[in-house]
Amino acid sequence: MIITKNKVRIFAMAAILTLSLYSCKPKLPVEMDLSREEFVLINQDSVEVTIPEILKNKISLAGYIFTHCPDICPMTTHNMYRVQKKLTSEEDILFVVISFDPDRDTPSVLKKYAELRDYDLNSWQLLTGKKEEINKLLDNVGVTAIAADSSFTESGELNYYFLHTDRISLVDKEAKVRKNYKGSTADINEIINDIKSLE
């Protein structure tokens, strides 16, 4: 059989096409493993929950916020809400909101935050807890929150705001973080495609 230049060219083109199709398929590496340590937290209904337990057997989106934040943090949770609205009903995703301000974000404050924004508490968990436990978790995932700017109200109450990491994480069914996004400006379609690539 005579191998013509043309045949070589066709073969090469086919090979390139196959390779590029293969590499188009997103492959998300494991960024962090949350299954190795236990974090005991409290949800919006004052029920004790543990990570990684609640993250197992379900794909989750986790966002880090403080509810006194009027701008960035509600954008982050609103992006999670938009993902939920855009997903089809067959997809069973858990939405986890973790507060880095446990002093002020009590379960009832978190519950009200969710209710006011129509977050469906069947699929959302808003978590707070003991400061040590929250800090341990934040250290683990590399989320930083530093009390920064503050002001006093007329009645003399201190209002402080955090300088904080702006993040949504995609967590797989084995409690492994597979991708981190900038929470307030995340691309909804990117998150949805990544969720689908894990299913």
Instruction: Look at strands 59-65 and 48-51 and give their pairing.
Output: unpaired
Token code pair at residue 30: 């494991």
CB 85 within 8 A of CB 124: no
**Minimal distance, residue 70 CB to Cu ion, in Å:** 5
Q: Near Cu ion by CB under 5 A, which window of 39-47, 68-76, 97-105, 146-154?
A: 68-76
Q: Amino acid identity, residue 196?
A: K
| Minimum CB distance to another protein, residue 72 (Å) | 5
Least distance (Å) from another protein to the CB of residue 188?
8
Decide: 83 and 192 in contact? Cβ < 8 Å: yes
Binding site for another protein (CB under 8 A): 67-72, 74-75, 78, 82, 85, 109, 112-113, 116-118, 144, 146, 148-149, 151, 153-155, 157, 159, 161-166, 184-185
CA dihedral 173, 55, 191, 83 (to 10 degrees): 130
Rounded Cα distance between 17 and 173, Å, is: 32
What residue 99 binds from another protein, Cu ion, none (CB within 5 to 8 A, per partner kind)?
A: none
Decide if 139 contacts 100 (C-beta within 8 A). no
The one of another protein, Cu ion, none whose footprint includes residue 121, by CB under 5 to 8 A per kind, is: none
Considering only the stretches 23-31, 70-78, 166-174, 188-196, report the one whose residues sit in contact with Cu ion under the rule CB under 5 A: 70-78
If the CB atoms of residues 39 and 64 are measured against Cu ion, the closer one turns out to be 64
Bridge partner list, 147: 162
Nearer to Cu ion, 89 or 151 (CB): 151
- Which of another protein, Cu ion, none does residue 181 bind to, with CB < 5 to 8 Å depending on kind? none
Instruction: Pick the closer one to Cu ion by CB: 70 or 156.
Output: 70
How far is C-alpha 38 from the geometric centre of its chain's CA atoms?
18
Which of another protein, Cu ion, none is residue 67 near (CB under 5 to 8 Å by kind)? another protein
Is the torsion defined by CA of 123, 128, 132, 134 positive or negative? positive
Contacts with Cu ion by CB under 5 A lie at: 70
